[in-house]
Amino acid sequence: MTRLTVNGKRLELDADPSMPLLWVLREELRLTGTRFGCGMSLCGACTIHLDGEAVRSCVTPLSAAEGRHVTTIEGLSPGVSSAVQRAWIAEEVPQCGYCQSGQIMCAAVLLREKPQPSDADIDDAMSGNLCRCGTYQRIRKAIHRAAKDIAGEKA
Amino acid sequence: MAHVVGTSARRKEGPEKLSGHARYVDDYRIPGCLHGVTVRAPIARGRILGIARDPAFDWDGVVIATAEDIPGPNVVTLIEPDQPLLAAGEVRHAQEPVALVAHADRSRAYQAAAHLKVEYESLQPVIDPAQSEQVFKSFLIERGDVVAGLAAGDLVVEGTYTVPHQEHAYIENNAAAAWFEADGTLVVLASMQCPYYVHKALKPLFDLPAHKVRIVQAVTGGGFGGKEEYPNMIAGHAALLAKKAGRPVKIVYDRHEDMLATTKRHPARIRHRTAVKRDGTLVAQDVDVLMDGGAYLTLSPVVLSRGTLHATGPYDCPNVRIRSRVVATHTPPNGAFRGFGAPQTLFAAELHMERIAEAIGADPVALRRKNLVREGSTLAVGQVLRESVGALQALDECAKRSGFRDKRREYARWNWRKDQPTWKGIGLAVVHHGSGFTGSGETHLASRAAVALTREGAIVVLAASTEFGQGTNTMFSQVTADTLGLPYDWITVETPDTSKVPDSGPTVASRTCMVVGRLVRQAALDLKAALVAEHGRVPHTRAHLREAALTLCGDAAERRFEREYEKPSGMAWDDATYRGDAYEAYSYAAVAVDLEIDKATWEVTVHRVTSVQDIGTTVNPLLAEGQVIGGTAQALGYALLESPVYKDGVMLNAQLTNYVIPTSLDTPEMDVAFVPAPYSNGPFGAKGVGELPMDGPPPAVAAAVHDATGLWITDLPILPERLARAERERKAPRNRK
C-alpha cells in the first residue's frame, strides 16, 4: 500500500510500487492530462510536481511518492486560472498541445524558484521539454509575461 | 460588426489544451478495451516460413490476428494496392507488420508479442536507391531547349546535393482505437490528419459499405504529415484485432516503435547543371532528382510530383529540364512530411543559386532579384503566374530586416581576423510553395464542406479537415464569422467524424485555408443569402437568430448549406502531358539565417532567423506566425541536427537520445513578417502557410555556413563532424594523396 497526496487528495493505492507514477496517474486515477511521450525521461511531456519539484513521472516509481504530494496539470489551478496558463493563452502558445501540460508544470516550478527569470534561466529550465510544433519562442515570452503578472499581483 | 479575419482571434481549443482536459486517443476510457501490439519483421527482405506460439508462454486471454483473419483483400488502399495490412508470405522491409496480439493488460500484450515466434528466410535486400531497379514513378518536365541553353550561357555551374530521412517526432505517437457497434458498424477513434483516407482504406479491408464505417478524429498531438497515411495502417490493425476479439482494441505505439516503423521524409539526391550569363541571367536549368520511396508506393508519386514541380526554385528560366524518379528499396515506406518533396528539391535549388552567385561573383540578392518570378512569369510546366506573386517583396523585405548586406561585410571583417574563436555568417534563400493539390488533384478530390444553422440557432462548420495544431478550427470560425457578419464566438466547428461531416479532403498540402476555407466561405454565403431572403438581413442577436433558425430549419434539426470544389475559371491542367497550372496559387518566403561556428568544436549556433512571407491575406497573424516559427524550428533540425542512421535498412537511432530534434536551446529568436499579395480566389485573399516555412531555412543555413567558413556543405544535416571533414579535405584534397 502506497500512501500519497494527489492534487490535495490523500490516497492509499495498492498498485505495484515499481509502476511508473505516469501510469498510476493515467490508468489508476484517470488523470490523463499528464502525457506519455517517450517513457525514457527524454521529452518532458509527463512532467508533474513531486513536493513542488518538477519530475518526470514516466521514470518515477510509485514508491518514490510515498508520503509525498503529487500535483498534476489538473491540480495546478481551477480552470486555466494560474498565471502561467493565462500567459500561455495570451501568447497563443499551444499548437497541437500534447507537450504543454509538461511545459506548464515545468514553467510553474521555474517561476516559483526564479520569479524574474532571464532568457538564459528559461532555456536552462525548459530545454528538456521538447515541443515538435516549435513553440519555444512563445514559451519564453509567456514565462516573462507570467513573471510580470505574478509580480504585479504581489505588488 | 468588427471584422475578425486579419485579427489574432484566440485558438478555439486553446484552454482545454492547457488544463489537461483535451482528450487524445489514449485518454479515452473504453470499457472492455484490449491493448494491441504489433509483431514486426526484424529483417529487411525475406520470406515468412511460419508463425508459431511459444508453448512455454501462457496464452490465456491473448487474441492473435494474422493476414488470414482479414475479411477483405489484404491491402491498405491508398494510390496503388501494393501494401498489405499484414505481411503474408514475403517481407519487404524491416519492421513490416506480420501479426497482431491483444490482451487486457498492456504489459501482457507486449510479452505475448515477444513469444509469437515467426520464422523467416532472409533474402538480399536492396537498400541503396541508386541500385534499385524498381521505379515507382518518374517525371520529365521540359521548357524550351535545355541542350541548346546549356551551350548558350557564359558558364555552366554543376552541383550534387543530398538530403536524408527525417523523422516527424510528433510528441504524441501514432494511436488508434477500434470497436464494432451492435449493428456491425466499425468505429475508429484515432490520432490522424485524414479521416476519409482511413474510411476509404477500411471499407474494403472489412468488406463493409460506407455507412458501416465511422472514423472519428481524437485530439491529435502533432502530425506534420506523419499522420496523413499511416493511420490507415494502425487503424486497420486495431480494427482487425477488435473483430477477432469481439471487444474494443486500442493500439498506442511507444516512441521506439513509432520511429522504427512509421513513415519518414523521403531521402533524395538532386543534381543541378545551370547555364548562366555573366550578368546573372539564368539561361538553362537541368535538374535530376532521385528519391527513395521505401518498400511500398504509398504516397511517393505525389511527393515526387511536388518535389519535381518545385525543383528549379521560384525562377523564370527559358530552358528547363527536370528529370525525376522515385524508386523502391527494402526500407520502411517513406511518406508525407511537411513540405512533401519540396524541402528536398528546394534545398538543392537554393544552395545551387549561392554557388552560381559565387561562380559569377554576383551578390546573391541581386542574382535572385534578376531571375525571381513575378506577375506574368512562366514556370517550367507552362503556367503563367497571373496574380499574387510576392516573391520579390519578400526578398527585399527580408534583406532589409536582416541587414543582410551590412552583416555580410561585418562578418567578413570578423572572419578575416585569425584570432577570433568563431566564424560568423549570414545566408538567405527564397522559396515558393504551391497551395493545394497538384494539377487536377483538387478536381479529382471534389471536396465538400458545409455550414449549418441548427434549430437552436447554432452555426456549425462541417468539414473533415482536422485540427492538429495549425489552427483549422480558428480559421474556419473567422472565415464564417466575417462572411455572416456575426461574432467569432458564435461559430462552432464539428469534430471530424465521417458520420457527421462531408469529405473536405485530406488535411495536407497547405490546402485547408485556401481550398476548404473557400468552400466554407461559399457555404456561409449561401446561409447568409437564405437568411437575407427570409428576414431581409442576417439577425444580429441570438434571439433573432434562433427565430430565424426555426423558419429556415422547418421540421429538420438543422439547415445545411454545402458546397463542392469548383475549379477556378481559367485554370487548366493536362494530366497526360503534366503541363498547365500546377497549383492555383503559390506562397513565397524569403529567409535569412544568421549564425556562428565555433572554430574548435565546429558547433553551429543559429542566432537569428528572419522570415518574410507572402501567404496572401493573413487570416490570423498570430496563428500564421506560429506556423512559421514552428516550421522553421523543424527546418533548422533538418538542416543541422537530425541525422537518422541506418544499417541494413533498419534505423539504429530510433529514440530521442540520439535522434536529436531541436530544443529551446537550439531554437533562436525569429523575426517573422508578412508581405501579403492577396489571391483573388482565396477566402478573403488567403493562400497556404503550413508547409512553406519548412522550405527556406535549410539552404539559408548552408549559405550562411559557406559565408562563415568558405565551405560548401551540400549534404544535410550539417553536423560538426561533416564540417570538420570538409575542412580537412579542403586542406588536403583526396586527389593529392
Nearest residue, CB atoms, B18 vs list A100, A126, A127: A100
Together in a domain, B223 and B281: no
Together in a domain, B422 and B282: yes
Together in a domain, B415 and B490: no
Q: In angstroms, what separates the C-alpha of A12 from chain B's closest C-alpha?
A: 22
Residue B22 and residue A104: Cβ atoms within 8 Å? no
Report pTM. Answer: 0.98
> Which residue of A18, A23, A38, A126 to mutate against B (max B Cβ within 10 Å)?
A38
CATH number for the domain including B70? 3.30.365.10
Together in a domain, B274 and B314: yes
Q: Which three cell numbers stand for residue B719?
A: 553536423
At residue B485 the predicted structure's pLDDT band, cuts being 50, 70 and 90, is: very high
Q: In angstroms, what separates the C-alpha of A101 from chain B's closest C-alpha?
A: 6
Together in a domain, A55 and A100: no
Question: pLDDT tens across B490-535, in order?
Answer: 999 999 999 999 999 999 999 999 999 999 999 999 999 999 999 9
Together in a domain, A104 and A137: yes
Asked if ipTM goes beyond 0.85, one says yes
Mean pLDDT (whole number) for B330-349: 98
Neighbours of A53 (CB within 10 A): 10
CA distances from A134 to B40, B92, B206, B562, B663 (A): 32, 35, 39, 35, 8
Residue B737's pLDDT is what?
A: 43
Cross-strand bridge partners of residue B51: B118
Say whether A45 sits in a helix, a strand or coil. Answer: coil
Q: Which three cell numbers stand for residue A96?
A: 497541437
* Chain A CB contacts of B15 below 8 Å: 79-80, 89
Could you give the CA distance from residue A105 to residue A99 in angstroms, rounded to a whole number? 10
Q: In angstroms, what separates the C-alpha of B667 from chain A's closest C-alpha?
A: 7
Together in a domain, B73 and B179: yes
Q: In angstroms, what separates the C-alpha of A72 from chain B's closest C-alpha?
A: 9
CATH number for the domain including A35? 3.10.20.30
Cβ atoms B347, B718 nearer than 8 A: no
Residue B2's pLDDT is what?
A: 63
Together in a domain, A96 and A64: no
Q: Is B40 exposed, middle or buried (0-12, 13-18, 19+ CB in 10 A)?
A: buried
* Chain B CB contacts of A80 below 8 Å: 15, 18-19
Together in a domain, B223 and B99: yes
Torsion angle of the four alpha carbons B292, B293, B296, B298, in this order, in degrees rounded to the nearest 10: 180
Last residue of a domain, one of A75, A103, A135: A75
Q: Which three cell numbers stand for residue B654?
A: 530510433
Last residue of a domain, one of B208, B233, B261: B261
Residue B655 and residue A42: Cβ atoms within 8 Å? yes
Q: Which residues of chain A from 24 to 43 reach within 8 Å of chain B, CB to CB?
A: 26, 30-40, 42-43
Residue of B nearest to A34 (CA): B20
Q: In angstroms, what separates the C-alpha of A44 from chain B's closest C-alpha?
A: 10
Residue B220 and residue A130: Cβ atoms within 8 Å? no
Together in a domain, B381 and B309: yes
Cβ atoms B79, B85 nearer than 8 A: no
Together in a domain, B484 and B434: no
* Chain A CB contacts of B29 below 8 Å: 30
- The answer as to whether B406 is a domain residue is yes
Neighbours of B131 (CB within 10 A): 9
Nearest residue, CB atoms, A92 vs list B23, B623, B655: B623
Q: Which residues of chain A from 56 to 85 reach within 8 Å of chain B, CB to CB?
A: 72-74, 79-80, 85
Together in a domain, A62 and A94: no
Query: Is residue B395 predicted with pLDDT exceeding 50?
Result: yes
Cβ atoms B478, B520 nearer than 8 A: no
- The answer as to whether B395 is a domain residue is yes
- The answer as to whether B130 is a domain residue is no
Q: What is the rounded end-to-end Cα distance, in angstroms, of chain A?
A: 45
Q: A130: domain range? A: 83-154
Residue A79's pLDDT is what?
A: 82
Q: B501: domain range? A: 14-21+447-564
HEC readout, B233-288: HHHHHHHHHHHHHCCCEEEECCHHHHHHHCCCCCCEEEEEEEEECCCCCEEEEEEE
Number of domains in chain A: 2
Cβ atoms B197, B78 nearer than 8 A: yes
Query: Is residue B168 predicted with pLDDT exceeding 70?
Result: yes
Residue of B nearest to A90 (CA): B10
Residue A35 and residue B13: Cβ atoms within 8 Å? no
Which amino acid makes up residue B619?
V
* Chain A CB contacts of B662 below 8 Å: 134, 136
- The answer as to whether B257 is a domain residue is yes
Query: Is residue B1 predicted with pLDDT exceeding 70?
Result: no
Q: In angstroms, what separates the C-alpha of B15 from chain A's closest C-alpha?
A: 7
From the list B264, B272, B305, the residue with the least C-alpha distance to B140 is: B305
Could you give the CA distance from residue B497 to residue B693 in angstroms, rounded to a whole number? 30
Question: pLDDT tens across B138-159, in order?
Answer: 999 999 999 999 999 999 999 9
Together in a domain, B374 and B485: no
Cβ atoms B54, B94 nearer than 8 A: no
Last residue of a domain, one of A75, A93, A121: A75
Together in a domain, A39 and A55: yes
* Cell 487503424 found at: B235
Cross-strand bridge partners of residue B610: B592, B671
CA distances from B339 to B298, B305, B329 (A): 16, 12, 22
Question: pLDDT tens across B574-621, in order?
Answer: 999 999 999 999 999 999 999 999 999 999 999 999 999 999 999 999
Could you give the CA distance from residue B124 to residue B44 in angstroms, rounded to a whole number? 8
Together in a domain, A113 and A132: yes
CATH number for the domain including A97? 1.10.150.120
At residue A153 the predicted structure's pLDDT band, cuts being 50, 70 and 90, is: confident
Residue B733's pLDDT is what?
A: 73
Q: Which three cell numbers stand for residue B265?
A: 521524409
Q: Does any CB of chain B come closer than 8 Å to the CB of residue A107?
A: no
Could you give the CA distance from residue B229 to residue B658 in angstroms, rounded to a whole number? 26
Size of interface A-B (CB pairs under 8 A): 158
Number of domains in chain B: 3
Could you give the CA distance from residue B101 to residue B118 in angstroms, rounded to a whole number? 13
* Chain B CB contacts of A38 below 8 Å: 254-255, 655-656
From the list B736, B712, B707, B731, the residue with the least C-alpha distance to B723 is: B712
Question: pLDDT tens across B71-87, in order?
Answer: 999 999 999 999 999 99
- The answer as to whether B246 is a domain residue is yes
Report helix angle B517-535 to B542-553, nearest 10: 90
Together in a domain, B280 and B250: no
Residue B734's pLDDT is what?
A: 64
Share of chain B above pLDDT 70, in %: 99
Together in a domain, B252 and B325: no
Cβ atoms B697, B709 nearer than 8 A: no
Residue of A nearest to B170 (CA): A132
> Which residue of A136, A141, A143, A145 to mutate against B (max B Cβ within 10 Å)?
A136
Q: In angstroms, what separates the C-alpha of B205 from chain A's closest C-alpha?
A: 30
Share of chain B above pLDDT 90, in %: 99
Q: What is the DSSP code string of B604-622?
A: EEEEEEEEEEE-BS-S-HH
Residue of A nearest to B620 (CA): A92
Neighbours of B547 (CB within 10 A): 14
Listed in order, strand segments (DSSP E) in B319-399 are 319-328
Residue of B nearest to A44 (CA): B171
Question: pLDDT tens across B652-689, in order?
Answer: 999 999 999 999 999 999 999 999 999 999 999 999 99
Neighbours of B229 (CB within 10 A): 27
From the list B411, B428, B420, B725, the residue with the least C-alpha distance to B598 is: B420
Residue B469 and residue A95: Cβ atoms within 8 Å? yes
Q: Which three cell numbers stand for residue B378?
A: 512562366
Torsion angle of the four alpha carbons B616, B621, B622, B623, in this order, in degrees rounded to the nearest 10: -30
Residue B652 is given by DSSP the state S
Q: Which three cell numbers stand for residue A70?
A: 503529487
Together in a domain, B506 and B418: no
Together in a domain, A37 and A91: no
Could you give the CA distance from residue B692 to residue B656 in angstroms, rounded to a whole number? 26
Together in a domain, A70 and A93: no
Mean pLDDT (whole number) for B225-229: 98
From the list B512, B432, B469, B466, the residue with the least C-alpha distance to B623 is: B469
* Chain A CB contacts of B22 below 8 Å: 97
Q: In angstroms, what separates the C-alpha of A28 from chain B's closest C-alpha?
A: 11
Residue of A nearest to B222 (CA): A96
Q: Which residues of chain A from 108 to 147 reach within 8 Å of chain B, CB to CB?
A: 122-123, 126-140
Last residue of a domain, one of B501, B536, B564: B564
Contacts for B403 with CB less than 8 Å, ≥ 6 apart = none
Mean per-residue pLDDT of chain B: 97
Contacts for A41 with CB less than 8 Å, ≥ 6 apart = A56, A58, A59
Q: Does any CB of chain B come closer than 8 Å to the CB of residue A22?
A: no
Cβ atoms B66, B281 nearer than 8 A: no
